[in-house]
Amino acid sequence: MIYTRNALVALLPIFLAACGGGGGGDNNTNTGTDIVSLAPTSSSTYATSGYNTKELEFNSTIIVDSETGIVVGGSKVSSYFNTRNYMGLNVDQGDEVTIKASGENINLMESWDSYDGYHYQYMLPNDASSYEFRFTREGTLVAEATLGSLPHEIDATPTVNGEDIFIAFSRLSDHKYFNLGESLECREFGNGQYSVLDNPGKEEALTDDYQGSVTALFNEDLATLQTNYETCKVEVTLAATPKTLNLTKSHRNIFIEAASILFVDVTLF
């Protein structure tokens, strides 16, 4: 199935939530040690300007759709040191987030939700020579990192045998692979309406090809599904992350996550 930008953006909160407090799987070729201390420029507790820059973390997540080549990103600035959470703060006054691809500025869309707080969403070209992330206060550099390459895309081939599902996919030795979850989508007879049952993943690590069954995943019997529905399919979301990001950063309070995603449709009947 071809997924739109919106479908990928919907996954960003999952990764952004993990991208905080040390950056999760932010394994870098060069980790910065500098940290810049600039005094707050306001008294706001909901904005970056209300905090000393040494108390702020700049987190970004990049997701590559393996089927379409679309690349989306999300970035936020938070202060776990003060707030004890990773909710994004409003980047205001003289504070600024800038992201570039091959030296060209990327258009950032400001957003807010109850999951991530204030954050930016954006699209990136998949063939840039580099991706730069900068956070500044009144022109002074606070945190900076450069990502030299994106995660490799996933190539997978699904097969089905009754209620048993198999997905063979190519694996690179320098990447880690995960199952992010499954969903069962069935179309009713006659009216064309769909019923969807989700089985959220727990970032299950995959060291071999994927295997699953309808009964184990959804507690549904295949014969019953065939009686009640015209068609059914299972969608499996696979992810891959580099074991070591091609990332250079000059400051220790900036973190980058990057993953490739593949939505695999497996038709049961």
Indicate if 17 and 44 belong to the same structural domain.
yes
Q: List per-residue pLDDT tens for the chain, 269 residues long.
A: 444 455 565 665 556 455 444 443 445 555 566 899 999 999 999 999 999 999 999 999 999 999 999 999 999 999 988 888 889 999 999 999 999 999 999 999 999 988 889 999 999 999 999 999 999 999 999 999 999 999 999 999 999 999 999 999 999 999 999 998 899 999 999 888 999 998 865 678 999 999 999 999 999 999 999 999 999 999 999 999 999 999 999 999 999 999 999 999 999 99
**pLDDT value at position 47?**
97
> With contact defined as beta carbons under 8 Å apart, do 251 and 32 qualify?
yes
Total structural domains within the chain:
2
Q: What is the CB neighbour count within 10 angstroms for residue 55? A: 18
**pLDDT value at position 189?**
93
Indicate if 34 and 163 belong to the same structural domain.
no
CATH code, 120: 2.60.40
Residue 247 lies in a domain: no
**pLDDT value at position 192?**
83
Indicate if 145 and 15 belong to the same structural domain.
yes
Indicate if 101 and 60 belong to the same structural domain.
yes
Q: What are phi and psi of 115, to 5 degrees?
A: -85, -45
Report DSSP state, residue 25. Answer: T
**pLDDT value at position 149?**
96
**pLDDT value at position 199?**
84
Indicate if 14 and 73 belong to the same structural domain.
yes
- Strands of 125-208, DSSP E: 131-137, 140-147, 156-161, 164-169, 175-188, 194-205
**pLDDT value at position 83?**
84
Residue 246 lies in a domain: no
Residue 136 lies in a domain: yes
**DSSP code string of 25-77:** T--EEE---B------SS--SSBGGGS-GGG-EEEEEEEEETTT--EEEEEEE
Across 165-200, b (16+ Cβ under 10 Å) vs e yields: bebebebeeebbbbbbbbbbbbeeeeeeeeeeeeee
Indicate if 19 and 140 belong to the same structural domain.
yes
What is d(CA 7, CA 57) in angstroms, rounded to the nearest whole number?
27
Indicate if 143 and 187 belong to the same structural domain.
no
Range of the domain at 109: 5-151+252-260
Indicate if 147 and 193 belong to the same structural domain.
no
Residue 98 lies in a domain: yes
Q: Helix (H, G, I), strand (E, B), or coil: what is residue 42?
A: coil
Q: What does pTM read for this prediction?
A: 0.85
Q: Can you count the helices (H) and strands (E) in the chain?
A: 5, 17
Indicate if 196 and 124 belong to the same structural domain.
no
Residue 164 lies in a domain: yes
What is d(CA 259, CA 242) in angstroms, rounded to the nearest whole number?
7
Closest CA to 265 of 172, 177, 159: 159
Indicate if 31 and 104 belong to the same structural domain.
yes
**pLDDT value at position 1?**
43
Indicate if 49 and 35 belong to the same structural domain.
yes
List residues bridging with 93 in a β-sheet: none
